[in-house]
Structure 1
């Protein structure tokens, strides 16, 4: 990653995933509020968010993780050799980081299968390990660097820690939209800061000039820029929330497209019939058995059907 392109590529990866998560989280939250019989209490987090293609849920995130990390591993391996010998040990650390996120993608794809072969929260556990490994590698990747080089990478390390901690909280707070948005927020911060580090350490254009990496004044400017990134992302998430809510408010009916998938539960929402615009379905938590969930769903179903019959 010791080039401008080496920082842009992973930055684009994290930005793309973060923006998709932000959109999907808000979309699920507002649809639950509008269509689920429990309102926003019907919202539930998942480690990844599928795309709906021809009435099928496709975990595009898992495929992208596997494909992108495989390309990254091949690229880092190809550029690590000089004269037939492994000459760049840093590439080995990058390959290790890519491998962890690739494993996360594989787990996402396995968890998508109907026959549940993985325990609940496996995706969150592996996602946490991927961020933790990334942070550990970056923390021990700074020996012999300039002061500013160490500074910008430690700021990146802080964002990575935020991603890992948010993943843990999200796994335990499945109904908290704030926990889910926190993971997306720190991932977005990590992605844009990758770009910023590339511009600071490896400016791609001559007119940008070279930073004095030992200047205390310029290091103070870098600190301000980091906080600007953090503030901008908060504003971006708020604007995204208003935009997604506007789109959901225009919906007059929710079809099977909005039957969300979760790695540790049945489809989150089930539409009863075309006569109403309500969604029925309860989460299969570990503290409840299948019969109790079914009985409660039947109770909700009978209540809605009775109300339809009583309507003039």
Structure 2
């Protein structure tokens, strides 16, 4: 018995030492909401859904100090749907660790990472609108990433080139130069068929933050699409500039961007132009914030023209540093061959761990 206790103590000591060296962390977020949703061209539906303000996720992250200022890190995180327990975002072909699956080295030179991670468009988009990375109520995120087939709004008419995450990529991140940082992305297409071997995705973003001012921009040239990053598509180039300024009594947001699809398999070229505005107004003496945002996209498909306009009003209240409750009302209108609109209401709770 004594020898067993000694062995157990030795194992625990080794585990503690390994943990101290590698700093492995279990982390994630659960976001659930209840609401009444009606997208343009669809019937109204009462739902209990996952990801009202942030897509629910969980996973492991860790770092190891290699000495001499060099560190190794890894990120293995997965999306999940807390309403049903499914391990995905509801996207066809979504992989298990579709949020992150990468390893990297960092030091005074910055960081070099390999594997699946954020696309160049993701950080600039979520940092320049008051509803962050909400795929449910953020006007800018919806216009950038979510089509509405019922109203004639297709994948080619959203403004980003493909998914918010890229697989099979190398990312170089610069050090922080007095608030200025940049990330350069190269996604291998991994195509072997004749005429497709050079297909790939390339892009970069720049982020600047100093005091109340934040500025950002990104550019992408995309030829590979899909959650797994293996589908060849017509070349799509997209870019956006945006920023925010915090006046303390109100924080203002704004963006402007364009996307162009060069027709190869499509019958005509497509050009999409999107701009957005938003604000956060903190409620004095409370941990709450009123939010408002609007986005407008003009899509030129050959000689035809479509428009999409979305408005959202919301309130977010923090019960602690890790838990907040929220509510939002969204109006979404798509004008294509005719005009279709819908209004959605959602209230929810978000908890980080």
Q: TM-score, normalised by structure 2?
A: 0.25
Structure with bigger helix share is 1
Structure with bigger strand share is 2
Higher relative contact order (CA 8 A, sep 6+): 1
